Amino acid sequence: GQNIDQPTEMTATEGAIVQINCTYQTSGFNGLFWYQQHAGEAPTFLSYNVLDGLEEKGRFSSFLSRSKGYSYLLLKELQMKDSASYLCAVLDSNYQLIWGAGTKLIIKP
């Protein structure tokens, strides 16, 4: 079956760095997405990786290793507004989006 695993919850301190991991087992792979979702709101797109390596976009970076079925989202210089759920999603061989359950990130002052 298809499976995406990410931690349920993480806590970090304002100004620090946090890494949210995502491992996946899917039928085929056509890219991995990270989304941010604040409580009560729809998800917003953060990043898309289809090749191995690190993609940097401001304070957020996303890494992919296809051979290991692994990705992480790195958030630097954490701000209180970064408190949200972070969703990992994989496009499988049929170009269907398979969603992880999300990681709730709590930022403390």
Partner 1 sequence: GAVVSQHPSWVICKSGTSVKIECRSLDFQATTMFWYRQFPKQSLMLMATSNEGSKATYEQGVEKDKFLINHASLTLSTLTVTSAHPEDSSFYICSARSGRDTEAFFGQGTRLTVV
Q: How far apart are CA 100 and CA 87, in angstroms?
A: 6
Give residues 9-38 in contact with partner 1 (rule: CB under 8 A).
Answer: 30-31, 33, 35
Question: Which among 27, 29, 64, 60 is positioned nearest to 45, based on CA atoms?
Answer: 60
Q: How far, in Å, CA of 104 to CA of 45, rounded?
A: 16
Told to check if 40 binds partner 1 by CB under 8 A, we report: yes
- C-beta closer to partner 1: residue 29 or 70: 29
CB of 70 to partner 1, least distance (A): 20
Among 14, 41, 52, 56, binds partner 1 (CB under 8 A): 41
Write down the least CB distance from residue 49 to partner 1, Å: 11
- The answer to the question of residue 45 lying near partner 1 (CB under 8 A) is yes
Q: What angle do CA 95, 100, 106 make, to 5 degrees?
A: 140
Selection from 26, 20, 19 nearest residue 4 by Cα: 26
Check binding of 80 to partner 1 (CB under 8 A): no
Distant-in-sequence contacts of 52-59, Cβ < 8 A, 24+ apart:
none
The residue ranges that bind partner 1 (CB under 8 A) are 30-31, 33, 35, 40-45, 48, 50, 87, 91, 95-97, 99-102
